[in-house]
Chain A
Amino acid sequence: MSFQRMDADTAETLAGVVRLLRRAAELVWAAADTEGAGSPRQVLALGIDLAADEARNLLPDAIAVQGPAPVGDEPAGLLRSAEQLLRRIDTPGAGAAVHGLRARVADLVWEANSGVDA
């Protein structure tokens, strides 16, 4: 999916994904900071950051990422919501980038549920 061909709904959905991922990352980094140096949560937090970066880079500059702050303070729930939004736009014509991002976010949901954040 190129920037030019992205329709408004898809762009808004992706912007929502960015916000959800950034909020989830914020929460996991806060937990990692509380645990102190060497927290294993860094691995998950960085993974969420990088997924947010990927989602952001799919959006054209003209699309505003700002929007309502996601509700919730549970990283796994926020990640699940992001994955569900991506499922909506991961259509056969969406392209490899959206498909790959969705797979990565699904992995992060699993990590958040099964790892130290569970």
Chain B
Amino acid sequence: VSMPDRRTVGELLADSEALARETLLDATLEQAPAMVRSWNQLVGSAVELWAVLPSAPNSPSWSDPMERLRAIGEALSRSVTAGHWPGQGPTDEHLTQIADNLSHARHLVERSGRPSQSTTTDSPAVLQHAPGQVMHTLYVAAHGTVVALGAYAADLQGQVETAKRRRQPVAERPAALEVTEAQGMIARFDGFEHLAAAAYLAVATPPSLMNPGQAATPTKRLETALAAWEVQAHRTLAASPDPADLVRVARVQALITSTTSILTEAAATKGHIDADVIQRLAPSLEASQIAWSRMAKRWGELTSPASRTDPALVGAASEVRAAIAATATNQAGWATPDQLASRLDLPHIVKTLHLSMVASIEVAYVVRDTAADHPGLTAPARIIGMRSQGEAEIAIEQGETRYEGVTWTIRRQRASNQLIPLPEPARRGLINLADDVLATTNQAVAAGAQLDPSDVTRSTRSGQRAHLGRSAQSHQITHPRDPAPGGPRR
């Protein structure tokens, strides 16, 4: 019979932070797949605890930062459940223990709220710091997972290259696809880490350090709209989306990218950003905007007159559009740098947009998963027949033999332009477009690393593929621009 757990909420949270640090220090490549599998359980426990904690005094009023993280955790889980790397298998002991601690802490907080059942000796001050501790735990654990994944991908890449050099038969080589999939997972966890770091900073910043101008309405309105958009995009994409939803997601992301470009250039003109940053960033943002727009057009081919867009997505998109129109445009088009500087807290909003760009990588991964896995995708036979043939020909040129001689639609379907299930090559085309978005957006995130409010990117990214082959120094982690006067806890 196991002893009852008599730890207090404060002790459970401190233990969770310590375990997260251990996860980071002990991160090995063998653990990486298990850590990915455990992630959703960890985030789920954190979300449940977060919901019963008293709000942190400085938690951003514009949104619940945990909602963003929950959306990413669920998207990762769906991806794994759908059979993507690393697939089913064992989970990670450390992360599972943290999840158990957080769940137990939630029970204690819930019970302490009932008048006759005071079971915790935690003071109100302990609970006041709890949101920051939860967020910090997620941040450190995400970083540990990124480190383990980096080692895993680097090792696998090494095996692939060695096998090539030794001319091993292809069947005996490690799959190059697994390297790509592990690298993709690194990018997703990188995004989670940055968002958790920014949220941690937001809840842990002492009131005296808060910028009073942050309450200014246009800046706040845009921030609020962007945060609500990200969460809604994840919700819609998680619930069997219509191609019309995918079009809207891509169009809104393209507009956000253009706005990021305009506001960042204005910030540079006003001297808030180094000129060399904007020189690197501008072409990447342009490429990302083009990639999102291409994706929108291709998904548009899958819509039919009867297509509907999720009303909640329409609402969130409308608010993003309205906020951008009100803050970043004038009657002639985009607002001038002077106008933008007078309306917005430019240094602040540029950081927010950078964070939004980091979050958009996860949205792109979910779009990619939708293209790969959504069983209900259909499209009008005429256009999708042509599209499938075109994609099949490209694949055949690249050595794919399964598509040779295949007809994708039949005469009757074309005659009535019937809605037909999406053929594999058409899915492949959509996946390739998502990959373009991912490559260009990752490049933009790397180019704008100095704008990251958490400073995490500055230390860990030096280029698009900076996540590959992380070395031991990645095991060192400090609080992102730690605002706590006492430095890192524990």
Q: In the complex, what residues of A have CB within 8 A of residue B308's CB?
A: 53, 56-57
Q: Are A46 and B244 in contact (CB under 8 A)?
A: no
Whole-angstrom distance from the CB of B305 to the nearest CB of chain A?
Answer: 4
Q: In the complex, what residues of B have CB within 8 A of residue A53's CB?
A: 244, 248, 308-309, 311, 314
Q: Are B318 and A50 in contact (CB under 8 A)?
A: yes
Q: Are A47 and B321 in contact (CB under 8 A)?
A: yes
Q: Chain A interface: which of B187-195, B201-209, B251-259?
A: B251-259
Q: In the complex, what residues of A have CB within 8 A of residue B333's CB?
A: 40, 115-116
Q: Are A43 and B331 in contact (CB under 8 A)?
A: no
**CB-CB under 8 A for A65 and B305, given A46-B252, A54-B314:** yes
How many residues of chain A get a CB closer than 8 Å to chain B's CBs?
23
Q: Chain A interface: which of B11-19, B286-294, B362-370?
A: B286-294
* Cβ-based interface call for B119 (8 A): no
A to B contact number (C-beta, < 8 Å): 70
| Bound CA span A38–B289, Å | 7
| Bound CA span A93–B247, Å | 33
Q: In the complex, what residues of B have CB within 8 A of residue A38's CB?
A: 258, 261-262, 286, 289, 334
Closest A residue to B247 using CB positions: A49
The residues in B between 321 and 352 inclusive whose CB is less than 8 angstroms from any CB of A are: 321, 324-325, 329, 331-334
Q: Are A42 and B254 in contact (CB under 8 A)?
A: yes
| Bound CA span A31–B49, Å | 49
- Interface of B: prevailing SS: helix
Closest A residue to B320 using CB positions: A46
* Cβ-based interface call for B1 (8 A): no
Closest B residue to A39 using CB positions: B258
* Cβ-based interface call for B410 (8 A): no
Q: In the complex, what residues of B have CB within 8 A of residue A116's CB?
A: 332-333
The residues in A between 70 and 118 inclusive whose CB is less than 8 angstroms from any CB of B are: 114-116
Q: In the complex, what residues of B have CB within 8 A of residue A34's CB?
A: none
**The one of B244, B306, B321, B332 that contacts A43, using a Cβ cutoff of 8 Å:** B321
Whole-angstrom distance from the CB of B371 to the nearest CB of chain A?
Answer: 21
| Bound CA span A45–B290, Å | 16
**The one of B305, B314, B329 that contacts A50, using a Cβ cutoff of 8 Å:** B314
**CB-CB under 8 A for A40 and B251, given A50-B317, A50-B318, A53-B244:** no
* Cβ-based interface call for A2 (8 A): no
Whole-angstrom distance from the CB of B387 to the nearest CB of chain A?
Answer: 18
| Bound CA span A66–B419, Å | 14
Q: In the complex, what residues of B have CB within 8 A of residue A8's CB?
A: none
**CB-CB under 8 A for A43 and B255, given A38-B262, A50-B317:** yes
**CB-CB under 8 A for A56 and B258, given A47-B321, A49-B251, A116-B333:** no
The residues in A between 24 and 57 inclusive whose CB is less than 8 angstroms from any CB of B are: 33, 37-40, 42-43, 45-47, 49-50, 53-54, 56-57
The residues in B between 270 and 317 inclusive whose CB is less than 8 angstroms from any CB of A are: 286-287, 289-290, 293, 305-309, 311, 314, 317
Closest A residue to B294 using CB positions: A33
Q: Are B289 and A37 in contact (CB under 8 A)?
A: yes
Give 10 A-B pairs besides A33-B293, A57-B309 with Cβ atoms closer than 8 angstroms: A37-B287, A38-B261, A43-B255, A43-B324, A49-B247, A50-B248, A50-B321, A56-B308, A65-B305, A116-B333
Q: Which 6 A-B pairs have CB atoms at the shortest separation, nearest pair first?
A: A40-B333, A53-B309, A65-B305, A37-B286, A53-B314, A38-B258
Residues of chain A touching chain B, judged by Cβ–Cβ distance below 8 Å, are: 33, 37-40, 42-43, 45-47, 49-50, 53-54, 56-57, 61, 64-66, 114-116
